[in-house]
Chains A and B, each alone.
Chain A
């Protein structure tokens, strides 16, 4: 089912012999209230086939009408990517028979995309900027969801039959296609990931989609081909689908480069086909042979009239564009007085929005950064998820930071509270109460613990009385142990010195 690792060429060897060419197609589901061509709701996770109507089920005689809000989102996406907006364009029927498309065609756009010829600048982890050209962004509709029964869960191989839920069929989709990305060499996988990340951040800033790769509202198909070093003619490409996370984008491109190189180095030919990425093995396997565009028999959709956005409308939409992620990063760097390195750490951790939201919830930028970039990033790494997917909110982090600032929690206790929130034990205050984590701030309790510790180590107590202040450390340690770490060490030290001075 999956190619063995013997079928791939060593990565350095790939780069010594070939130059990779990338083409990335990103599909983004718009977060409109209704579908592209009918008034069915688009909420994720509803009971199967409860958000359907004659239009999206392709029942005879049903007629589509375009969702104006989806067109506005498409134009705004195009503008944010620096694209030209078509003065006139049409929808087209893309004909193919597949059970996830109940109409037997997908309503899409063919040679008249609503937006074309733009660019997106990406910043790689080390700060290198790469400009990616945008070929086009066009409007289409999503397909239904298939569940393959009988084989391994959800997979086609070995399935006995398939079950279709059309709630997703007809959800507005924007397909954004890059121009060929060349000259990236060894960094091609990293560029692919950075592109999807930058695009995701941009779409999120625009507020046009919830851009959840794990829920399929942002999906990437990675086209990869190789050309022998020194040549300029593109090789045959494959299109890898089912790439459902940023990390998978990077892995899929890298794997496909090493696989294709092995085929080419062995004198073989690359077949133009779709390939399926397998998260568990990190490899791709052959899918369907790619149909040529003639095979789709595109023709202008007769049931939908052309779209001709007026210059006034486009300018009105341009005025609604928010601060772009790259502008925002510059502003945040200035506002929070971050060094380039600090900003890069923040961006690379995927923490900009989370830290900003934590600051909005009352934390200082430094507190918020410390939590997200240091402690929580490690936790996300350990769990193998994106930072934003951790089960803790900026408001909860801000609450913990506030308790530290108020002296109710030490840093150590605060980490325990955060661990409790991550473990699903509820809000920070509830975790503090349930785990009994509040700092012992009652001085009488602390005095008792200090007196006890001093009495237990009379020699140390004498040293302190004799002026050896650094000896207090041993007593602080004893008190912290006695209070199970729930005392503020600084306060304990003050009390010890006070006791020994008196």
Chain B
């Protein structure tokens, strides 16, 4: 049965780039526990002989021909960007993530 610790919540928050307060760590640990237990209950219904399913439709090998199709113009592509510079998306500087 899941039992999510404060440390695990803090770790997930870091991966998700979320700032979580000390109080929230406890709050979310409890909530995530409930969510995971609910999902885990599927396992009680699905017995051993039922294989895990990732795709609901029995399709295989759906491919596209290697032919270019029109996409977006630069202007269209950048239309939703919060900030733009030199035809590029401008984002805050990336800190110590990858040297």
Whether the pair B99, A41 counts as a contact (CB closer than 8 A) is no
Residues of B contacting A146 in the complex (Cβ-Cβ under 8 angstroms)? 94
Per-residue CB contact flags for chain B residues 57-97 toward chain A (1 = under 8 Å, else 0) read 10111111111111111100110000001111111111011
* Residue B22 interfacial (CB < 8 Å): no
Taking CB atoms and an 8 Å cut-off, the chain A residues in 294-324 that contact chain B are: 295, 297, 299-300, 302, 304-309
* Chain A residues with CB under 8 A of B23: none
Q: Does A288 contact B (CB under 8 A)?
A: yes
B24 nearest CB across to chain A (Å)? 19
Q: How far is the CA of A99 from the CA of B17 in the complex (A)?
A: 12
Give the contacting residue for A157; candidates B15, B55, B99; CB below 8 A: B99
A166 adjacent to B97 (CB under 8 Å): no
Task: Evaluate whether A49 and B68 lie within 8 angstroms (CB atoms) in the complex, with A288-B99, A305-B61 already known.
Answer: no
B46 within 8 A of A: no
- Judged by a CB distance under 8 angstroms, whether B41 is at the interface is no
Cα A106 to Cα B91 with chains together (Å): 19
B94 and A90: CB pair below 8 A?
no
User: Would you call A274 and B87 a contact (CB within 8 A)?
Assistant: no
The answer to whether B98 has its CB under 8 Å from any CB of chain A is yes
Q: A33-B67, A305-B61, A308-B61 are in contact. Are A274 and B98 (CB under 8 A)?
A: yes
A51 at the interface (CB under 8 A from B): yes
Let me know if B54 and A285 touch, CB within 8 A: no
B55, B57, B64, B98: most-surrounded residue (chain A CB, <10 A): B64
Report the count of interface residues on B (CB-CB < 8 A). 39
Residues of chain A with a CB closer than 8 A to B69's CB: 34, 38-40, 53
- B42 sits at the interface (CB 8 A): no
The distance from the CB of B89 to the nearest CB of chain A, in whole angstroms, is: 4
B45 partner residues in chain A, CB cutoff 8 A: none
Measured CA separation A374–B92 after assembly (Å): 51
Q: In the complex, which residue of chain B has the Cβ closest to the Cβ of A48? A: B87
- The reply to whether B86 and A163 form a contact with Cβ atoms under 8 Å apart is yes
Partner of B88, one of A97, A165, A297: A165
A70 at the interface (CB under 8 A from B): yes
Shortest Cβ gap from B42 to chain A (Å): 15
Known: A288-B96, A307-B61, A308-B61. A161 touches B90 (CB 8 A): yes
Decide if B63 touches A71 in the complex (CB within 8 Å): yes
Q: Identify A66's interface contact among B62, B96, B97, CB under 8 A.
A: B62
The answer, yes or no, to whether A150 is at the interface (CB within 8 Å) is yes
Cβ contact within 8 Å between A163 and B88: yes
B64 and A68 form a contact (CB under 8 A): yes
> What's the A-B contact tally at a CB cutoff of 8 Å?
154
Instruction: Type the 1/0 row for A94-125, where 1 means its CB is closer than 8 Å to any CB of B.
Output: 01111100000000000000000000000000
A287 CA to B96 CA in the complex, in Å?
Answer: 7
Closest Cβ–Cβ distance, residue B65 to chain A (whole Å): 7
- Give the number of chain A interface residues (Cβ < 8 Å): 65
Q: Which residue of B lies closest to A273 (CB)?
A: B99
Cross-chain contact B93 with A39 (CB below 8 angstroms): no
User: Which B residues lie within 8 Å of A95 (CB)?
Assistant: 15
Q: Is the CB of B89 within 8 A of A49?
A: yes
B98, A48: Cβ atoms closer than 8 Å: no
* A182 interface residue (CB < 8 Å to B): no
Contacts of A149 in B (CB 8 A): 85
Interface centre among B17, B61, B87 (most CB of A within 10 A): B61
| A428 CA to B97 CA, complexed, in Å | 50
Closest beta carbon of chain A to B15's beta carbon, Å: 6
Q: How far is the CA of A32 from the CA of B73 in the complex (A)?
A: 21
- Judge whether B92 and A161 touch: CB under 8 Å: yes
Contacts of A70 in B (CB 8 A): 66
- Return chain A residues, CB-CB under 8 Å to B89: 49, 99, 163-166
Of A66, A147, A148, which one neighbours B64 at CB under 8 angstroms? A66
- A52 with B72, Cβ < 8 A, contacts A156-B98, A306-B55 known: yes
- How far, in angstroms, from A52 to B70 measured CA to CA in the complex? 9
Q: Determine if B71 and A53 form an interchain contact, defined as CB atoms under 8 angstroms apart.
A: yes
CB pair B94–A159 under 8 Å, yes or no, is yes
Q: Is the CB of A39 within 8 A of B72?
A: no
| Bound-state Cα–Cα, A300 to B53, Å | 10
B41 to chain A, nearest CB (A): 19
CB pair A53–B72 under 8 Å, yes or no, is yes
Q: Which residue of A lies closest to B88 (CB)?
A: A163
| Contact in complex: A99, B71 (CB < 8 Å) | no
Closest to A303 in B: B55
Q: How far is the CA of A270 from the CA of B87 in the complex (A)?
A: 41
Q: Are A300 and B98 in contact (CB under 8 A)?
A: no
Q: How far is the CB of A279 from chain B (nearest CB, A)?
A: 14
B47 within 8 A of partner (CB): no
A149 to B73, CA, bound (A): 24
Contact between chains at B62 and A156 (CB < 8 Å)? no
Give Cα distance in the complex from A3 to B33, angstroms. 45
B residues contacting A by CB (< 8 A) are 11, 15-17, 54-55, 57, 59-74, 77-78, 85-94, 96-99
Apart from the given pairs A33-B66, A50-B77, A308-B61, 15 other A-B contacts in the complex at a CB distance below 8 Å: A48-B88, A49-B77, A57-B72, A66-B62, A98-B94, A99-B94, A148-B94, A157-B99, A161-B93, A162-B91, A166-B89, A274-B98, A276-B98, A287-B98, A295-B15
Q: Name 15 interchain pairs, CB-CB below 8 A, sorted by A.
A: A33-B66, A38-B71, A39-B69, A48-B86, A48-B87, A49-B88, A50-B74, A57-B77, A67-B64, A98-B98, A156-B98, A161-B93, A276-B99, A291-B15, A305-B62
